[in-house]
């Protein structure tokens, strides 16, 4: 029996090979070959694509993307933690309703949700019409960095709330009672028991928000206009408009390395090695 | 009342309209080892949680050292609890777990270190301070949980089935250890268990509970020898409970025969219940036995044989080191001392 069960993993291994390992390898291959050698017979290896990236213009784009993603992640954390805490401490029926409301927007296409924000933030949008109605001047909301951050927070906040909620709801009530019994008031219990024990959830949340935020291209394109190019837009542009697959691949690889490094740094902060809420 | 450290007056607790505790009145003396004993769902843990402050009674008063405690939250009470599942903090090592309560009190780190190390020594866990909680065995975790509570020098220690998860041998060792520690430190223990043997071994006073009502309160010897009702008799050890009639002081009739006994003070002709412990019944020659019956079954139990002997309509449970084959007729003997008379239940 034991021998046979391993066959069940074969379809998954095949799937992984075709759709994950092979493409990743191709991206790597593109990134270290020059544009002129696009044929199997004549491959010219070069690191030129990587060198190209260390131009201040591209570094700035990278830095900008990471800043915007970090700001969004921070806002998601500040809003998401209390939300997760409230959900985990409410009674069963209320909890399910709140969780449902939290997941509901994810059932809709992300593009649609982002377009919806355009009509809210736009010059003739909901907010500006309202401002005009009560006698204020119109404000330029759309196509700003703020709008990009707003869109990222809106789209990714469920990924912050859910892992934190999981970590909090798995926590043993007995631990809170024990701390109470040993003389800790509510604030101390939160600081010394609840917060540290929910850290695995917080870390998962940060990773799950930061990763899509740093590489998204739809949100900055729709809400940020062309003023703020993020790294995702740059890669998209190189592949679709410029047809420079090699340079685009190199940037993708650089992004992968940066994400891997930041993830391993995050994991260093993870005290609870047993915590099931971890993703990695 | 002078040296009562905990008093519960007419405590009633309802969860969603369902009565869990019904008019419990109980007082615990200083330095006493009190055990709340009963089957699961009898209200013993709820009683403990009310003392600890984790539940508030629906009605009635809780006094601690003469002060009304009903609305005082747990963190302000001068008692500590050892929880059933230990509830050790998984993100802290052994030392930090034990030091938790002292650090909350903002004690000097040096004094804390001294006290914690002393506790570790007391529990034979000297070199375990740096260990993570998940690296410890059940028995060690259990001792850490007790150390974490005791290091705060509470006046009363509440223990909620602390030995429930340990294996038999370890449990026996810990029973002795706990009892010795309680005597040495002079702390009042309120102990919850469903294990009657544990209760008999450790307690000064046993409080037998069932259906949210205190069935009997007394020393282990009183409870065992003079159970007040059929529930207590049945719950504390195994027993044979028969219907009988009291003819006079020291004279009882059951199974159609009259027997001498040591009980008195019942009404003449009063219907009562008779308890005879299985280990008090002795297999004897038919000619000299007051009762005789047929052996229905024999089970080997290690220390003794457990036999069921049918005497007319009643099946006696007998614990004996000698055995008789199934189907044989045997005599059963007992002394007047072995007969315990109880008032008849509903």
- Which pLDDT value is given to residue A276? 42
Mean pLDDT of A19-40: 82
Residues of A in contact with B104 (CB under 8 A): 182-184, 188
Contact between residue B27 and residue B139 where contact means Cβ atoms under 8 Å apart: no
Which pair of tokens denotes residue B126?
A: 């000297």
More confident: A71 or A224:
A71
- Which pLDDT value is given to residue B1? 43
Residue B68 binned pLDDT confidence (cut-offs 50, 70, 90): very high
CB contact under 8 A, A182 and B134: no
Contact between residue B220 and residue B37 where contact means Cβ atoms under 8 Å apart: no
B311-346 per-position pLDDT tens digit: 988 899 999 988 889 999 999 999 998 898 888 765
CB contact under 8 A, A182 and B52: no
Mean pLDDT of A46-73: 90
A179 touches chain B (CB under 8 A): yes
Mean pLDDT of B275-279: 90
Which pair of tokens denotes residue A111?
A: 């593009």
Between chain A and chain B, the number of residue pairs with CB atoms below 8 A apart is: 61
The pTM assigned to this predicted structure is: 0.76
Search chain B and give the residue with CA nearest A187: B104
The secondary element (H helix, E strand) that includes residue A236 is helix A231-240
Among the partner-chain residues B81, B85, B91, the one whose CB lies closest to the CB of A181 is B81
Is pLDDT at A279 greater than 60 in this prediction?
Answer: no
- Which pLDDT value is given to residue A264? 84
A276 touches chain B (CB under 8 A): no
The helix/strand/coil state of B154 is coil
- Which pLDDT value is given to residue A149? 93
- Which pLDDT value is given to residue A278? 43
Low-confidence winner among A220-229, B96-105, B259-268 (lowest mean pLDDT): A220-229
- Which pLDDT value is given to residue A39? 61
Search chain A and give the residue with CA nearest B55: A177
Residues of A in contact with B74 (CB under 8 A): 177, 180-181
| DSSP, residue by residue, B105-130 | TT--HHHHHHHHHHHHHHTT-GGGTT
A126-159 per-position pLDDT tens digit: 888 888 888 888 888 888 888 999 999 999 999 9
A3 touches chain B (CB under 8 A): no
Search chain B and give the residue with CA nearest A182: B101
CA distance B110 to B116: 10
Q: Please state, for a pLDDT cut of 90, what percent of chain B lies above it.
A: 53
Angle at B254 between CA B253 and CA B256, to 5 degrees: 90
Is pLDDT at A227 greater than 80 in this prediction?
Answer: no
B290-318 per-position pLDDT tens digit: 898 999 999 998 888 999 999 988 899 99
B182-200 per-position pLDDT tens digit: 998 889 999 999 888 899 9
Coarse DSSP helix, strand, coil percentages of chain B, rounded to the nearest 5 percent = 30, 35, 35
For chain A, the average pLDDT equals: 86
- Which pLDDT value is given to residue A132? 86
CB-count exposure of residue B258 (10 Å: 0-12, 13-18, 19+): middle
Q: Which of A171, A174, A179, A181 to mutate to test the interface with B (most CBs of B within 10 A)?
A: A181
Is pLDDT at B163 greater than 90 in this prediction?
Answer: no
Torsion of CA A12, A14, A18, A19, to 10 degrees: 0
CB contact under 8 A, A197 and B90: yes
Query: Which among B214, B159, B164 has a CA at the least distance from the CA of B27?
Result: B214
Q: Which of B86, B89, B101, B136 to mutate to test the interface with A (most CBs of A within 10 A)?
A: B89
B148 touches chain A (CB under 8 A): yes
Is pLDDT at A270 greater than 70 in this prediction?
Answer: no
């Amino acid at each position: 029996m034991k021998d046979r069960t391993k066959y069940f993993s074969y379809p998954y291994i095949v799937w992984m090979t075709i759709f994950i390992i092979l493409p990743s390898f191709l991206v790597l291959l593109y990134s270290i070959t020059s544009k002129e050698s696009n044929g199997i017979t004549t491959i010219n290896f070069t690191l030129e694509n990587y060198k190209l990236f260390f131009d201040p213009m591209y570094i700035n784009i990278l830095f900008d993307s990471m800043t915007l993603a970090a700001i969004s992640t921070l806002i998601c954390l500040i809003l998401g933690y209390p939300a997760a805490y409230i959900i985990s401490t409410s009674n069963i029926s209320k909890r399910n309703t709140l969780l449902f409301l939290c997941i509901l927007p994810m059932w809709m296409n992300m593009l649609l949700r982002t377009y919806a924000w355009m009509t809210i933030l736009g010059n003739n949008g909901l907010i500006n019409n309202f401002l005009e109605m009560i006698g204020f001047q119109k404000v330029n909301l759309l196509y700003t960095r703020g709008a990009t951050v707003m869109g990222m927070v809106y789209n990714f906040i469920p990924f912050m709330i859910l892992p934190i909620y999981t970590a909090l709801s798995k926590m043993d009530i007995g631990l809170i009672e024990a701390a109470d019994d040993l003389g800790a008031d509510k604030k101390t219990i939160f600081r010394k028991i609840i917060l540290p024990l929910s850290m695995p959830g917080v870390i998962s949340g940060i990773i799950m928000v930061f990763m899509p935020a740093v590489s998204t291209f739809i949100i900055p394109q729709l809400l940020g206009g062309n003023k703020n190019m993020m790294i995702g837009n740059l890669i998209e542009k190189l592949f679709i408009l410029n047809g420079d697959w090699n340079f685009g691949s190199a940037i993708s690889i650089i992004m992968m390395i940066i994400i891997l490094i930041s993830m391993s740094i995050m994991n260093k902060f993870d005290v609870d090695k047993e915590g099931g809420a971890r993703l990695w | 009342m002078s040296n009562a450290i905990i008093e519960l007056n007419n405590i009633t607790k309802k969860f969603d309209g369902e009565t869990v505790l019904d008019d419990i009145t109980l007082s615990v003396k200083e330095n006493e080892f009190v055990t709340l004993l009963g089957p699961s769902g009898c209200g013993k843990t709820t009683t403990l949680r009310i003392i600890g402050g984790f539940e508030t009674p629906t009605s009635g008063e809780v006094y601690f050292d003469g002060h009304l405690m009903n609305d005082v939250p747990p963190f302000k009470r001068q008692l500590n609890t050892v929880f059933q599942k230990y509830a050790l903090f998984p993100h802290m090592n052994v030392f930090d777990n034990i030091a938790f309560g002292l650090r909350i009190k903002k004690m000097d780190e040096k004094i804390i270190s001294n006290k914690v190390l002393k506790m570790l020594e007391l529990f034979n866990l000297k070199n375990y301070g740096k260990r993570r909680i998940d690296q410890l065995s059940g028995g060690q975790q259990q001792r850490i949980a007790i150390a974490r509570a005791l290091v705060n020098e509470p006046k009363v220690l509440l223990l909620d089935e602390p030995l429930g998860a340990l294996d038999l041998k370890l449990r026996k060792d810990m029973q002795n250890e706990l009892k010795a520690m309680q005597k040495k430190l002079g702390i009042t223990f309120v102990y919850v268990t469903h294990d009657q043997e544990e209760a008999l071994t450790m307690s000064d006073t046993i409080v037998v509970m069932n259906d949210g009502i205190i069935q009997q309160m007394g020393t282990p010897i009183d409870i065992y020898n003079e159970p007040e009702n059929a529930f207590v008799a049945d719950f504390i050890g195994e027993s044979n409970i028969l219907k009988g009639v009291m003819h006079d002081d020291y004279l009882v009739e059951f199974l159609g025969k009259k027997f001498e006994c040591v009980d008195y003070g019942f009404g003449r002709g009063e219907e009562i219940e008779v308890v005879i412990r299985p280990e008090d019944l002795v297999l004897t020659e038919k000619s000299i036995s007051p009762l005789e019956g047929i052996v229905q079954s024999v089970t080997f139990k290690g220390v003794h044989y457990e036999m069921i002997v049918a005497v007319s309509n009643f099946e006696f449970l007998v614990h004996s080191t000698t055995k008789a084959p199934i189907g044989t007729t045997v005599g059963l003997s007992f002394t007047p001392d072995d007969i315990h008379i109880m008032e008849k239940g509903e």
